[in-house]
Structure 1
Amino acid sequence: MDVLFDFSKLSLVSLFCVSAVMKARDLNPLVAHLTLTLPLGGRAARTLAMSTVAAEAAVVVVLFTAPRLGFAASLVLLTGFTVHLARVLASGTATSCACAGSSDSQVSAIHLIRNAILLAVAAAGLVMAPHSHSGPVVMNLIIAAPAALFGVGMLRLDEMSRFLSPQYTRSS
């Protein structure tokens, strides 16, 4: 149980950490996405984008300091992101999700599937949090690489699915 708890925590930490850093490096794709998909002006969209980065960074810290609260906060953020992406997909608006900064991938069902998986990971962590404690440092080091790969892989699932699709062709 502790291994799954640590895997869930480290997966979400890597996901939110990379996402926050990528967005913070260039906030413009997220601001453009929010301006296009929500009834916001540029200033409000920028404020919401900065708040999103801050919330993701806060979740990273809270997952380490108060895991139960961190998993709950992850569920809230992921639910909000999922509802927003479902609304964008239903509207037919063609835009990048800007989930990790700039991307050529348009919002698609892949984003909803990814978020459903991440919601399950966060829910599992929340359920296990009262009964689990982080294992020994050595165990965390062993779990860290696969958890980080899973977390970042989930963040980039849209690009990976496009790359692995039969329609993918390399330009020479």
Structure 2
Amino acid sequence: MQKKTKIALSYTVLLLLISTLLGCSGDKTPISESTATDSAQEPLFPRGEKGPASNFTGNAYNTALLPNDSTYHTLVGNVYFEKGARSNWHVHPAGQILIVIDGEGYHQMEGEPRQLMKKGDVVKCPPNVKHWHGASEKGSLTQMYILPNTEKGIVTWLEPVTDEQYTSMNN
């Protein structure tokens, strides 16, 4: 059974990671300790574009942070899920890494129980494993996603997660 790996990430560490990733595109602005502390109460990324109803139940918004290219073969982005919103079941040919930036939500791989995700959690979704993720019914969720080895493909969207699957701890 795949277990999620918990890592306590401070905003400073996360901002430095993102700064490093985005720094490759020419943005060399240093991030100081005071900048990270001052912005801790504000959203880290803009809300982004609303995801299509064909792939999400409820409202989810995506912000691209690092576009796919032929050098890094990696996509990085942020998704903000409103309370109760979730993705459809889907698979990534090369897997996916989720880093929870804020809030609380769920993640589930097919055939395993639903897992709680909280701020600071890191979840690895193995290649070609059917899964879903989204906010809890109590509040919103903000997650960063990393899709490596995109030359293998990005995502295959599948059927919606039913209300019964969403609320069940044992699916």
Structure showing the higher strand proportion among its residues? 2
Kindly indicate which of the two structures has a greater share of residues assigned to helix.
1
For the criterion TM > 0.5, the same-fold answer is no
When Rg is computed on C-alpha atoms for both structures, the one with the higher figure is 1
The TM-score, its normalising length taken from structure 2, stands at: 0.32
